[in-house]
């Protein structure tokens, strides 16, 4: 699969439901939280899941709806069925697989539901919600609205648009994103100023609102001394807060600018908690053949590990995120502690369905108690 976040023509909404019911002035906002993706022949576009975070619409190509080996149906992008999300075609199970190269529009469901709700509340016309409708956590309360009003309008614009389409924002609900914005303190910075110093403790999460910066990674760190440019909408400082480790890079401003800065407590409550989630015992048992993954070093793993788990150290996960099968579910076992939580955080931002198994969940499942030594 190849992703692109290039500008999407809002006229494409006319082909799909309920997108076609959204007025033009609201489509731009919706498409800020959308992307198009290309799928090669025989690759899975989506599989059935009880958690519908995204909606997929077939823009171009032919696909195969597979409920079983003997029960399958071919569809084309011009098929009337494809006016609806592909998720609607496999509500009872199955997968949608590309049988020619396919182009797909991917929409963040939370933002779609929120816009439809706003349409309903602002007019007498009825917009049909897909299936069971909006989840309660996408409804803005008066408190959230007042928080949004407190955001400095001078910095709304490009940086917000870019952040909305980031891998991080795609994992946040609209209410959570507004919480992020409301908790950012504006900090004026200057060219040449060091924002983060290598080998120091992580104490803030940052979003670059104005200006440009450069990340210079540690020579022997995960990025081997490479440098990266940061522009408005980019964020940094999060991984050290998730894993509570020291910084592995310097971040230096290359121009004057403004940073949005969030403290560790708000980061843990709003951002980390949204990405690093633990399923219930019932949810875990309902998952279809999840992959149990231990992210410790091989020597630690050999000293004892969960039966049937595989060993992929977190450093290897970081380097090979694009090679994970996004049609599988990954359960990260608790032995790695904060490293396990960091693995989930990284995987979720790469579109991988990963969950953190804490010790309470592990202890609630007798079949998982046994550990073996290699």
Query: Tell me: the pLDDT tens digits for 250-273?
Result: 999 999 999 999 999 999 999 999
Give the domains, in start order, of the chain with CATH numbers: 2-110 (2.60.120.10), 153-272 (2.60.120.10), 276-372 (3.40.250.10)
Give per-residue pLDDT as tens, 44-85.
898 877 666 788 999 999 999 988 767 888 999 999 889 989
**Rg, the chain, Cα only:** 22
Per DSSP, the three-state class of 307 is coil
pLDDT of residue 197: 93
pLDDT of residue 51: 63
pLDDT of residue 356: 97
Q: For residues 143-152, b (16+ Cβ closer than 10 Å) or e, as one string?
A: ebeebeeebe
110 in Cβ contact with 138 (< 8 Å): yes
Handedness of CA 269, 271, 272, 277 (dihedral sign): positive
Distance separating alpha carbons of residues 296 and 337, to the nearest angstrom: 9
257 in Cβ contact with 196 (< 8 Å): no
**34: closest CA among 78, 67, 4, 79?**
4
Give per-residue pLDDT as tens, 211-242.
999 999 877 666 677 888 999 999 999 999 99
pLDDT of residue 126: 32
Q: Which of 128-132, 153-157, 191-195 has the highest mean pLDDT?
A: 191-195
Weakest-pLDDT range from 12-26, 76-90, 142-156, 291-305: 142-156
**373: closest CA among 312, 324, 283, 300?**
300
- Pairing mode, if any, of strands 310-311 and 291-294? parallel
Q: Token match 């540690």: residue?
A: 218
271: Cβ contacts below 8 Å, ≥ 6 apart: 168, 172, 176, 180, 205, 238, 262
Q: What residue spans of the chain are helical by DSSP H?
A: 24-31, 109-122, 142-149, 158-164, 174-182, 238-243, 264-266, 273-275, 281-286, 298-302, 314-319, 338-349, 359-363
Distance separating alpha carbons of residues 70 and 74, to the nearest angstrom: 13
């Amino acid at each position: 699969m190849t992703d692109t976040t290039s500008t999407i023509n809002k006229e494409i909404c006319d082909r799909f439901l309920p997108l076609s019911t959204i007025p033009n002035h609201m489509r731009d906002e919706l498409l800020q939280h959308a992307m198009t993706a290309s799928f090669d022949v025989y690759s899975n576009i989506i599989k059935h899941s009880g958690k519908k975070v995204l909606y997929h619409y077939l823009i171009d190509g032919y696909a195969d709806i597979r409920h079983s080996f003997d029960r399958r149906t071919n569809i084309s992008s011009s098929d009337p069925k494809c006016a609806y999300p592909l998720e609607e075609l496999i509500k009872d199970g199955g997968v949608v697989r590309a049988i020619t190269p396919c182009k797909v529009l991917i929409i963040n469901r939370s933002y779609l539901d929120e816009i439809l709700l706003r349409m309903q509340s602002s007019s007498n016309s009825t917009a049909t919600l897909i299936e069971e409708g909006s989840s309660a956590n996408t409804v803005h309360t008066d408190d959230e609205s007042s928080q949004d009003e407190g955001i400095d309008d001078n910095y709304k614009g490009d940086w917000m648009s870019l952040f909305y389409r980031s891998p991080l924002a795609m994992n946040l609900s609209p209410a959570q994103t507004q919480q992020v914005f409301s908790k950012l303190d504006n900090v004026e910075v200057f060219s040449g100023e060091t924002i983060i110093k290598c080998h120091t403790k992580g104490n803030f999460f940052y979003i670059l609102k104005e200006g440009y910066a450069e990340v210079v990674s540690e020579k022997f760190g995960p990025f081997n001394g490479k440098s990266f440019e940061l522009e408005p909408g980019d964020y940094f400082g999060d991984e050290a807060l998730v894993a509570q480790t020291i910084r592995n890079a310097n971040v230096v401003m290359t121009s004057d600018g403004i940073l949005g800065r969030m403290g560790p407590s708000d980061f843990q409550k709003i951002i980390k908690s949204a990405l690093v989630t633990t399923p219930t015992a019932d949810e875990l048992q309902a998952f279809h053949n999840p992959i149990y993954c231990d992210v410790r070093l091989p020597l630690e793993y050999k000293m004892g590990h969960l039966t049937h788990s595989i060993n992929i150290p977190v450093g290897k996960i970081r380097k090979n995120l694009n090679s994970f099968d996004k049609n599988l579910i990954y359960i990260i076992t608790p032995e790695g502690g904060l490293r396990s939580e960091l693995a989930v955080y990284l995987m979720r931002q790469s579109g991988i369905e990963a969950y953190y198994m804490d010790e309470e969940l592990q202890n609630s499942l007798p079949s998982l108690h046994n550990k073996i030594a290699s």
